[in-house]
Amino acid sequence: MKEELNPPKRITVKLVLISLLFVFGVVVFLIGFRNDNNEIIFKSTGNNSVDYRVFLKENGFFDEPFLGPGKTYITSLIDHIDVDFKYTERFTEEASGSSTYYLKAVISADKTDNPTETGEYWSKEYRLTDPATIEFDKSNQSDINTSISIDYSYYNSILESFRSEYPVASDGTIKISLVVENYVNAESFSEPLKFDSELNLSLPLLEKAVEAKIDVETGNQSHEFKTNPKATNPIYTFIKIIGGGIMFASVALAIVVVLKRRSFINHHQYISTLEKILDANDSIITNIENMPNLNKFQKFEVKTFEELLDAYSEIRLPINFYQNKNGTESTFFITNEGIAWIYHLKKRNLGS
């Protein structure tokens, strides 16, 4: 018996009700802040950039001595990389203080992209510069400009030594970082405000003659500080928890409704498509109870049933049909002289 789709209006009504529940949760959650009288009086915002030039070894392909940012690089041609860090913290009011910074490099041998193995085998940090300090007085910002040249071959050789001693499948990476520790004296605070920032440039190691892209993280973050904290009434904390719970529950309900609708559509289209195939090709399809082992055959997996019909038209052998016990996947195949043509109809690949 064929199933009918739920009327779209029913889904819409459910989602509207869930949306109203979510809005109610937001209102309750915001009420919980009525007793919070903390005032944000100081804010620092990063406006940073990382520029770099990739210098190449002598070669017969590139005329220019270096390539600029945003390119795709052949790592076996990289000689060294010049990196320019421009770091700026902008304050919401005039402040005094200091920024201490240094440059470091971290090389790592990371596990290859495997669902069961993630993380790193080994990493090592190198301090590239000694800490330096700049001071600012009654200023709206703090600025640091520093540059460094990275000997790419040197770090490649370190990782190559690790791989020689421990021949495990790994991805090599080098990350160059500008690390900054800020101490800011603002008028409304008795103690200096401390916050850290980091700018990063990362690229692969030991990837010979392949495309390598450089990743940059500018660390453009905002740091907010509050003063005059007042005790919060426990009742308002409870109200926040209730409001947050309502929002979480409404989002979960919305996900369930959408997933059920998708599952229903997938199932409907799966059954409909399967019936059309069986009805239109009943005379050439043979239903089998057990799926044979096709590993001994040279397999050709086709994307549509029409492609399988083309194979049938040439060899004129019946099309075998097997549906799994869950009723979620059907397999149609033809075997002939060590060759198998296979078409899979899967419920999860249908619908929207």
| DSSP state letters, 110-167 | EEPSBTTB-SEEEEEEEE-S--EEEEEEEEEEEEEEEEEEEEHHHHHHHHHHHHHHS-
Residues 234, 222 within the same domain? no
User: How far is 43 from 317, CA to CA, in rounded Å?
Assistant: 75
- Contact status, residue 340 vs residue 320, Cβ threshold 8 Å: no
- Contact status, residue 148 vs residue 128, Cβ threshold 8 Å: yes
pLDDT recorded at residue 3: 44
User: How far is 270 from 277, CA to CA, in rounded Å?
Assistant: 11
**Paired tokens of 216:** 């940059």
Residues 112, 132 within the same domain? yes
Q: Is 119 left (phi over 0), alpha (psi -120 to 50) or beta?
A: left
pLDDT recorded at residue 258: 80
Residues 84, 149 within the same domain? yes
Residues 188, 88 within the same domain? yes
pTM across the whole model:
0.51
For residue 247, CA distances in Å to 19, 157, 237 come to 9, 53, 15
Residues 112, 122 within the same domain? yes
Domain finish residue from 280, 306, 341: 280
Residues 297, 323 within the same domain? yes
pLDDT recorded at residue 118: 57
Residues 17, 88 within the same domain? no
Residues 167, 295 within the same domain? no
Give how far the C-alpha of residue 286 lies from the chain's centroid of Cα atoms, to the nearest Å: 45
- Contact status, residue 184 vs residue 44, Cβ threshold 8 Å: yes
Using the structure block, give the residue that is written with the tokens 């590239």: 128
∠ CA 199-202-204 to the nearest 5 degrees? 175
Residues 17, 126 within the same domain? no
Tens-level pLDDT at each residue, the chain (352 residues): 344 445 556 777 888 888 888 898 888 888 777 655 556 678 889 889 999 898 988 888 888 888 888 777 787 788 899 999 999 999 989 999 999 999 999 998 877 665 445 577 888 999 999 999 999 999 999 999 999 999 988 888 888 888 888 877 777 888 999 999 999 998 878 889 999 999 998 888 876 544 556 777 887 888 888 776 554 557 777 888 888 888 899 898 888 888 777 777 777 788 888 888 888 888 889 889 888 888 889 989 999 899 989 988 888 888 999 998 888 889 999 998 889 999 999 877 765 4
Residues 125, 187 within the same domain? yes
For residue 297, CA distances in Å to 7, 187, 300, 303 come to 46, 79, 9, 18
Residues 216, 67 within the same domain? yes
User: How far is 245 from 84, CA to CA, in rounded Å?
Assistant: 47
pLDDT recorded at residue 97: 94
Residues 234, 310 within the same domain? no
pLDDT recorded at residue 4: 46
Domain count across the chain: 3
**Paired tokens of 42:** 């100081």
For residue 72, CA distances in Å to 62, 260, 267 come to 13, 44, 44
If DSSP codes are grouped into helix, strand and coil, which group holds residue 318?
coil
Domain that holds residue 71: 40-227
